[in-house]
Amino acid sequence: MSGRLEGRRALVTGAGSGIGKAIAERLSRDGARVFTVDLQGEVDRQADVTEDGINAALIAKAVEALGGLDIVVPCAGITGFMPLEGHEDDFMRRVFEVNVFAVLRLIRDALPHLKESPAGRIVTIGSTTSRFGDEGLTAYGASKHAVLGMTRSIAAEVGKFGITANCLQPGAIDTPMTAPAFTDMPEFKEFWINKAALGRLGQPEDIADVVAFLCSDDARFMSGQGFFVDGGAMQRH
């Protein structure tokens, strides 16, 4: 444990598995006290982040448990393939409800507590899909582009309080969420392995390590940025 986040208090959603779980574990190893949320799994609070009023309730529970809040990482998200022809409005709404609106609400409701922190940190999770697009990912790509734009605007607004806000944009990461696609479409998995300069899929820990850095004092002058963590895939696009 490095201890560089000693005494910090963090809230991580989507922490039951995959990237969110790895982030929560890494922040904890670096000394932070972490309140975890997910729809299922071994977390401090099981909740659907799209429910009315739930994000304010989660903030209240986290603050009660931790005594305050310094770090917010809204990592809960969904994906899904749907061709443009016949694309359903309800599908788009569901993706945006989880990937965009729930993120906004969590950050909004956490802001009063982050303003009280000497080192407030917001780290959102975008995607390389917002940069290059892909077949069948209209809703997902649009939602992650919204997260990036939202994060940059938030950074401009909260900087005066000493709060930083940055967006991590993962490439192809081997998680429970992506596993079905890689299993059903092995050519999709092979494409991403070949596309990455490092020649492999990313692991959740690859993302978690960068998030921990952005939450630390080492990243105190970095804000409003989108960071590709993709094994060098974007340089080849």
Question: Annotated catalytic sites, by residue?
Answer: 140
Stated as kind and residue range, the H or E segment containing 186 is helix 186-195
Question: CA–CA separation, 147 vs 142, rounded Å?
Answer: 9
Give the full edge-to-edge strand order of the sheet including 121-125. 45-46, 33-38, 9-13, 71-74, 121-125, 164-170, 226-229
